[in-house]
Amino acid sequence: MKEVIRQWLGTSGAVFGASGRTRLTLLYSFAAIAILVAAINAINVISAEEDGRSLLEPAIWEGSSWLSLVAFLWIPWMAWRWAPPSARPRWKLLLHGPAALAFSVAHVGGFDLLRILIYRLAGARYGLHSFAGQLQFEMRKDVLGYALIVGLFALVDHLLRRPEGAPSEPSTFDIRDGAKLIRVKMEAILAVTSAGNYVEFILADGRRILMRAPLRHVEQELAPRGFVRTHRSWLVNANKVTSLKPEGSGDYTVELGGQSVPLSRRFPGALAKLRAS
């Protein structure tokens, strides 16, 4: 369970590949959100001072809202990891509806609990009349904020991708299994197949190396480097395909030297990509 959570959050080396783009997306996005929201909260506190009110309560309200929002940023992050804008099948994007609701409930519940605690420590009482009413008031802002946060994740991830035609370092991929790391050249990877909770990298020299990670996470890293999903359990290196053999009913066998991989008729886009490569 811990391994699954780490992979979803993007903190496991197994899902980074050589670029570490996922980790940078996480760090840059969280930092930008924390700074931007803190600036907005500070402006709200300053506005309260200009209205002649005490700064203490607005500072508590805005500070608790900021802490709660930052604490629950993992909700939109996990939803974006599971269902980015390019997600296939498209129905996965429906996940963002309940995720946005969960984010709003967590944010409001979090800052209410913080305020109740702070007020009690100060010997006062926080005047929370109706959580449902407060949630209804905050939800529109939180849903808009959720959409902007997910959009920021996608934007940062896009900006961190290497531009086409840019000079590149020798292309390698880090295959990790716990503390063990094996760095291989991209051209040495023929295919990747799902093996339970692991994926198996099939290399040109005959080696087969296991890594603990979902195939979909590995696909996110390898798709920009020329790998194509040909089957629910297979990725192939399009640059290493030597032939395509029809098997009837729209299915094919992909030959990569001495390695044969299935190409399902359920992946027509893969057939088009391999024919064009």
What contacts 24+ positions apart, CB below 8 Å, involve 20-25?
Answer: 21/157, 21/160, 21/161, 21/221, 22/157, 22/220, 22/221, 24/156, 24/160, 25/153, 25/156, 25/157, 25/160
pLDDT at 13: 43
pLDDT at 12: 45
Across the 277 residues of the chain, what is the mean pLDDT of every consecutive 10-residue run?
A: 48 44 91 97 86 82 97 96 84 93 97 95 88 92 96 93 55 85 92 92 93 92 92 94 89 90 91 83
Burial status of residue 160 (CB atoms within 10 A of its CB: 0-12, 13-18, 19 or more): middle
Distance, CA of 24 to CA of 30 (rounded, Å): 10
φ, ψ (nearest 5 deg) of residue 231? -160, 160
Domain chopping of the chain, boundaries: 20-160, 173-276
pLDDT at 78: 95
Q: Could you name the CATH architecture of 173-276?
A: Beta Barrel (2.40)
Query: What 3-state DSSP class applies to 230?
Result: strand
With b meaning 16 or more CB within 10 Å and e meaning fewer, what string describes 104-123?
Answer: bbbbbebbbebbeeebeeee
pLDDT at 51: 66
Looking at residue 29, its amino acid is S
CA dihedral over 117, 118, 124, 130, signed as positive or negative: negative
pLDDT at 17: 38
Tokens of residue 170, six digits: 């020798």
pTM of the model: 0.57
